[in-house]
A and B are shown apart, each in its own frame.
Chain A
Amino acid sequence: MGGKEMNFSSAIAFETSSESSPPGGPLGYYPTWQREQNSSSSISSSEVLPANRASASARMTPHWMAGVFRRIVDLSKRNDDWDSYGAPRLQVEVLRAFVQTLEGYSYAIQNEPLISLTSNGGLLCSWESSQASMDLSFEVAEVTRVYYEDAATGQEFDLSLHECETVEKWLWRASSSS
C-alpha cells in the first residue's frame, strides 16, 4: 500500500506560493489581533477572537506555521506500516485540505497544533487548552472532520467542517495558551 511519491517540501511550497507575508513586527508580521489590540490596549490577546476573516485582510504567516511545515516534511519520510499495524504512509492527497484549512483559519489559531498521522495515512491536528480540546482530521476522499470538547461542560461535537458554524471560536479557545 503506498501513497504517491513526491517531494513534500515542493508540495508545501506549491500550496503556499501565492502567499506573501507583509513586512511586520518582531515576528515578521502583525497579527490581526495585535493590530486591534494596539487600538484598545487593555484587552488580552487570548480573550479576543479576530472579528472575522475579512479583518485579516493581509495574508500573514503566523509564528506556528513554520513548525507545522517542518512536522509535515518529517512525517512525509515515514514508510508504509509506520505504526506496525499496516497503516499507509502520509497520503499526499490530504495536503491541500490541510494547508488550506490551517491557512484559512490561521487568524483564529493561537498556537501550533500537535500533528499526528492517522491509520489511513491522513493527518490529525490537535489542540488542548484549559477551555477545550479540538481535533481537525484530514483523510483521503473524506470531508474534513471537526471534534470539539468543551472542558467546562464535557459536551462533545463531532461533525464535518462544512457543518461547523463555530469553528473559529472553537479554534480560538482550544488553541489558547491558558
Chain B
Amino acid sequence: LELRIRLTRDPIDTRALLAARPNLPDCGGFVTFEGIVRNNNHSKQVSHLEYEAYESLAIKELTVICQEVHNQFPIKHVQVIHRLGKLQVGDVALFIQCMGVHREEAFRATMSIIDLLKKSVPIWKKETYRDGHSSWIACDHGETRHA
C-alpha cells in the first residue's frame, strides 16, 4: 500500500494533486473526494471555520485507519490531506484519493476512511456564524473505536 497522510495549514491544491496521479498501471479505479466548507450547518449561516488537531496522534490514527481500510478493501494507493487553521466557505478541508484495481474497492475505501476519520481522529472544528457567534462542533463520537 502506498500511503500518504498530511495535515496542512496551506490551501490544498487539488488540481496539482490530480495531475500527480500515481502511476499504477494495474489500477483501473481512481476515486477522489474533496470535502468543502459549506455556508450553512443546521440552518445557521456559516461565515468561516477553524480546524485544530492533536497532530501527532491524528497522523497515527489516520495511519491505523488507512491500514484497516486497506485490509478490508485492497486498494493500492491512499492519500489523505486535512486542512488546519482558518478556512473560508468553498475551501477544501479534506482531500482523499484511493486507487485500486477496480472501482468498487476505491469507492468503498474512500467512504470508509471519511466515516472513520469523522469518528475518531483528533481534529476539531470551530464554526463561526454570520451573526458573530461561534461554537465547537461535536460529531458523534459515541461509538468510540478505542478503550
The answer on A and B forming one complex is no
Give A contacts to B, CB under 8 Å: none
